[in-house]
Structure 1
Amino acid sequence: MKQDLRFQKTEKALQNAFLELLQSKEISKISVKEICSLAQVSRNAFYQHYETKEHLYDNLLNDILLSIEQACKPLVKDLAHISAAEGRLFLDNILRAVEQHRFVMYRLLTSQPAAFSAAFHKMLLSATIEGSQTLMTTPDISYLHIFSGGVTAFVSYWLLETSFTLEEAQEKLFAILGQLRVVSD
Structure 2
Amino acid sequence: MNKNDLRYLKTEKNIINSFLECVDDLGFEKTRISDICHKAMISRNTFYAHYEDKYALLNDIISQLEKEMMESYQDKIMIDIMHNDAKQAVTWCFHEVNENRYLIQILLKCSKDKMKTVLYNVFMNHPIDILMKDYHCNLDNIKIKLNQTYIADAWIGYLEVWLNHYDEISMNDAIDFMVKLCEHPIQIYFQQLVHSI
The equivalences for 1:14-163 within 5 A come to: 14-70=15-71, 71-73=73-75, 74-76=77-79, 82-84=83-85, 87-133=86-132, 134-139=134-139, 140-163=144-167
Alpha-carbon displacement from aligned partner over 1:142-173 (angstroms, at most 9, x marks no partner): 11122222221121111112324443433332
Amino acid at match of 1:101: N
Cα contact 2:162–2:174 (8 A) shared by 1 = yes
Cα offset, 1:181, TM superposition: 5.8
How many residues align? The count is 180
Distance 1:2 1:33, change over 3 A: closer
Residue identity matched to 1:102: R
2:19–2:36 contact (8 Å) kept in structure 1 = yes
Q: Output the TM-score relative to the length of structure 1.
A: 0.78
TM-score by length of 2: 0.74
Q: Which moved more, 1:146-155 or 1:21-30?
A: 21-30
Partner of 2:52, secondary structure, is coil
Cα 1:171–1:4 change in 2 (3 A) is: farther
Tell me, in whole angstroms, the C-alpha distance in 2 between the residues paired with 1:96 and 1:65. Answer: 15
Give the drift of 1:21.
2.0
Q: 1:57 Cα deviation (Å)?
A: 0.2
CA distance in 2, matches of 1:182, 1:97: 20
Is 1:174–2:173 an aligned residue pair? no
**Unpaired stretches in structure 1, ≥5 consecutive residues:** none
Distance 1:82 1:182 in 2: 10
Cα distance change of structure 1 residues 49 and 2 upon mapping to structure 2, 3 Å threshold:
closer
CA distance in 1 between counterparts of 2:120 and 2:87 reads 19
Q: CA RMSD in A?
A: 3.0
- The unaligned stretches of length 5 or more in structure 2 are 190-197
Could you tell me which amino acid in structure 2 is paired with residue 27 of structure 1?
F
Instruction: Encode CA deviations 1:45-101: one digit per residue, 9 max, x unaligned.
Output: 212322221111001111111122221444349x5x6333xx333332222221221
Instruction: Tell me, in whole angstroms, the C-alpha distance in 2 between the residues paired with 1:18 and 1:104.
Output: 11
Distance of 2:174 and 2:13 partners within structure 1: 28
Q: Aligned letter for 2:37?
A: C
AA aligned opposite 2:148:
L
Residues in 1 aligned to 2:136 and 2:39: alpha-carbon distance in whole angstroms: 50
- Write the distance in 2 (CA, Å) between the matches of 1:24 and 1:6: 27
Answer yes or no: is the 8 Å Cα contact 2:120–2:156 preserved in 1: yes
